[in-house]
Structure 1
Amino acid sequence: MVRRMINSPLTILGLVLVLLIIITAIFAPVIATHNPTEVNLLSKLEGPSGEHFFGTDEVGRDIFSRIVYGTRISLKIGLLVVLISFPIGTILGAIAGYIGGRIDQIIMRATDIFLSFPGIILAMSIAAALGPSIENVLLALAATWWPWYTRIVRSSVLSLKNSEFIEASRALGANPFRILFKEVIPNAIAPASIQASLDLGFVILAAAGLSFIGLGAQPPSPEWGAMLSSSREIIRDAWWAATFPGIAILITVLGFNLMGDGLRDVLDPKQR
């Protein structure tokens, strides 16, 4: 497994990028050179320099420091959305695949209803109904992300539930719930886990998109999508105000996608 990862330069690149992002989030107070919300009108719209590595925005806030602290917000949203939606989707998919019958039909029809809408449009609707905030964006994205895990886990469970080790557990008198949580789910969770690693980047991108249109983080929060949104009116005069937050989003999504692709190749060789 380790050898296969070492032989994949793109996987190593993804792991390095993700590690740098995590380190940046943890040590943001040390790495940042300024207070990310401090307004200094005397320094507004200054270009990149030794004092302000990425320049300043329309009210003189240091863009480099805001991007560094924004790493915390983006990682928080990505991790929490996956940590909420992944268990929900996994449990529902396992129940649907293992028990079958009417329960399977109810769960999968509910899943199909959610999947029939474009995810970002559904998340926009939920976030707009709840009100603009990071917490509501988190809930909106979690509410639209679980159906994917449900379908993946259900498919895995259907291929496993008649396996010999499951039949052996039944023969030994294990009750259905013990079989489901002790035998079925641990053996069916790998494909969904790989998908979860890929989804971290997509969740961060979706959260930035919702903040960009005003449904997520609100000023003066140093969230990357909100920074891009506030820089729209000054992009002709201050290219750096939009460029560096955009690069931060690009690097983060790229890192998680490369890492997820590498884990898929390592843990599921059939997908190669």
Structure 2
Amino acid sequence: MILIRKVTSSPLTMVGLIIVLIILLTAAFAPLIATHDPTEPNILNKLQPPSAEHYFGTDEVGRDIFSRIVHGTRISLRIGLIVVLISFPIGTVLGAIAGYIGGRVDQTIMRITDIFLSFPGIILAMSIAAALGPSIENVVLALAATWWPWYTRIVRSSVLSIKNSEFIEASRALGANPFRILFKEVIPNSIAPATIQASLDLGFVILSAAGLSFIGLGAQPPSPEWGAMLSNSREILRDAWWAATFPGIAILITVLGFNLLGDGLNDVLDPKQR
């Protein structure tokens, strides 16, 4: 009840929660919300401005932009969730092992982590995606490969602060093996900062995926992915402002929603804020 009260007492957190819920519902019911087929061209209706028939207008081949954005919600949200679900467990386990065991194990894991962190994340993701070939699946792999080191550093730092706590010492005194202590005591009590970061990262992963699609390394036509829609609209921007404006707004609102929700979770889950 206290946690719920803290969440509901923050207007910005509630705004973020509402935005995220709308995004989730849009992705879940996209076929019912969309008014047209998102990939079917109609040359007779190309570059139509926003109207009652086409809420966000049409693109250069007559596809309904509103329907494409609605279906694109599924693609962007799936990319964000898969990347976080891959990188979060990997980074959490590696960070916990490094922090708890220490010594050469810690040094080896952290040096590998530092190698990945020494490159700008988006540049490394671009290199991996370019090497693997343009596709949504390869974008997911490229972003996951660049995201796990951040969770490793966060969890390791948190583990170092609790590894000598009294409840850990009590578990050792009772004869619990290191494996059980690591997964039953250490990780559950050090995962909160990484969870907060994961909620923030969902928006940034979606933004990064859109960036990779924008330069041609992600989703390919006729996929209704927001970054690809922005890329396709560059040549018609002067004649059809709506073709780029509405996908850009969709990215902006999505990133904003996850950021606001992540900040609210930080206030709720971070013990220093209590």
Q: TM-score range by the shorter chain?
A: over 0.9
Aligned to 1:46: 48
Runs of at least 5 residues in structure 2 that lack an aligned partner in the other structure? none
Q: After TM superposition, which residue ranges in structure 1, 4 or more long, deviate above 4 angstroms?
A: none
Q: 1:209 aligns with which of 205, 208, 211?
A: 211
Q: 1:256 aligns with which of 233, 258, 266?
A: 258
**Structure 1 CA distance, aligned partners of 2:102 and 2:4?**
38
Aligned to 1:87: 89
Q: 1:11 aligns with which of 3, 10, 13?
A: 13
Q: Which deviations, in whole Å up to 9, do the C-alpha atoms of 1:133-175 show, x marking residues without a partner?
A: 0000000000000000000000111111111111111111111
Aligned to 2:141: 139
Q: 1:140 to 1:15 in 2, by over 3 A?
A: same
Counterpart residue type for residue 46 of structure 2: K
Post-superposition shift, 1:6? 1.6
Q: Which deviations, in whole Å up to 9, do the C-alpha atoms of 1:184-209 show, x marking residues without a partner?
A: 00101011001000000000000000
**Structure 1 CA distance, aligned partners of 2:69 and 2:255?**
15
Post-superposition shift, 1:269? 5.0
Post-superposition shift, 1:77? 0.3
**Structure 1 CA distance, aligned partners of 2:177 and 2:271?**
33
Runs of at least 5 residues in structure 1 that lack an aligned partner in the other structure? none
| SS of residue matched to 1:252 | helix
TM-score normalised by length of structure 2:
0.98
**Structure 2 CA distance, aligned partners of 1:35 and 1:25?**
15
Q: 1:139 to 1:240 in 2, by over 3 A?
A: same
**Structure 2 CA distance, aligned partners of 1:182 and 1:241?**
51
Q: 1:240 aligns with which of 236, 239, 242?
A: 242
Aligned to 1:226: 228
Aligned to 1:149: 151
Aligned to 1:62: 64
Post-superposition shift, 1:102? 0.4
**Structure 2 CA distance, aligned partners of 1:172 and 1:15?**
42
Aligned residues: 272
Aligned to 1:78: 80
Counterpart residue type for residue 108 of structure 1: M
Identity %: 86
Post-superposition shift, 1:270? 2.1
Aligned to 1:124: 126
Q: 1:107 to 1:217 in 2, by over 3 A?
A: same
Post-superposition shift, 1:2? 1.7
Aligned to 1:179: 181
Post-superposition shift, 1:107? 0.2
Counterpart residue type for residue 9 of structure 2: N
**Structure 1 CA distance, aligned partners of 2:164 and 2:242?**
58
Q: Which deviations, in whole Å up to 9, do the C-alpha atoms of 1:84-142 show, x marking residues without a partner?
A: 00000000000000000001000000000000111000000000000000000000000
**Structure 1 CA distance, aligned partners of 2:231 and 2:196?**
32
Post-superposition shift, 1:211? 0.2
Is 1:101–2:80 an aligned residue pair? no
Post-superposition shift, 1:7? 1.7
**Structure 2 CA distance, aligned partners of 1:159 and 1:88?**
20
**Structure 2 CA distance, aligned partners of 1:152 and 1:269?**
15
Aligned to 1:188: 190
**Structure 2 CA distance, aligned partners of 1:178 and 1:99?**
13
**Structure 2 CA distance, aligned partners of 1:7 and 1:79?**
27
Post-superposition shift, 1:226? 0.1
